[in-house]
Amino acid sequence: MPCPILLIDDHPLLRAGLRLMLESALANALVLEVDSIGEAVRCGEAAPALVLLDIELPGLNGLDGLGVLRQRWPQTPVVVLTSHAEREVQQAALAGGAWAFLSKAASMDEMMAAIQAALNREPAAGVSGKAAQPGRRPHLTPRQCEVLDQLCLGYSNKVISRHLGLSENTVRVHVQALFTALDVSSRTQAVVAARHHGLVR
């Protein structure tokens, strides 16, 4: 049975290397390569078995796009694979719903161990794994904080887009990512949750 894996990275050579690694290590791997979050969400409704996500992407970056992917395919584990190993980036990725956080400097064995663990819905040994805890203050990106501030002032997506110099569609994506990070389903709930967590005054 095919194992569809969605690889989101804007570096063709790296994608090619990862694809070869996956196809050689997993006999049933079916790797789909895209270079942006926007292209990923246009891949159709069928959920992949796994998403491998870079952080530095054109348009919507990986951290902001993580919420979009988690909302679209809530049962699909997302493994963040990046050259940015800073602790705050790692914490933001895990708080945003990443299954695991892997450095691109990791060995092939380490990468495949983490990938196989994610496919089996198991924590990866020796890898930063799912660690968000109930009630923990959500970690938002700077752009998400800006959108949240505007949202809490009661502004519409159209007004927020004008204030922040973003397209209305990009604002909509950020708002959905905020809903996911705050575990809410409406703007009113988002405001209440933001105040509860001390994210806004």
- pLDDT for the residue numbered 33: 93
What is the SS3 assignment for the chain? Answer: CCEEEEEECCCHHHHHHHHHHHHHHCCCEEEEEECCHHHHHCCCCCCCCEEEECCCCCCCCHHHHHHHHHHHCCCCCEEEEECCCCHHHHHHHHHCCCCEEEECCCCHHHHHHHHHHHHCCCCCCCCEECCCCCCCCCCCCHHHHHHHHHHHCCCCHHHHHHHHCCCHHHHHHHHHHHHHHHCCCCHHHHHHHHHHCCCCC
- pLDDT for the residue numbered 133: 38
Domains defined along the chain, listed by start: 3-129 (3.40.50.2300), 142-196 (1.10.10.10)
Mean pLDDT value of segment 60-73: 85
pLDDT tens digits, 104-153 = 877 788 888 888 888 988 765 545 554 333 345 677 888 888 999 999 88
User: Given pLDDT bands bounded at 50, 70 and 90, which one contains residue 164?
Assistant: very high
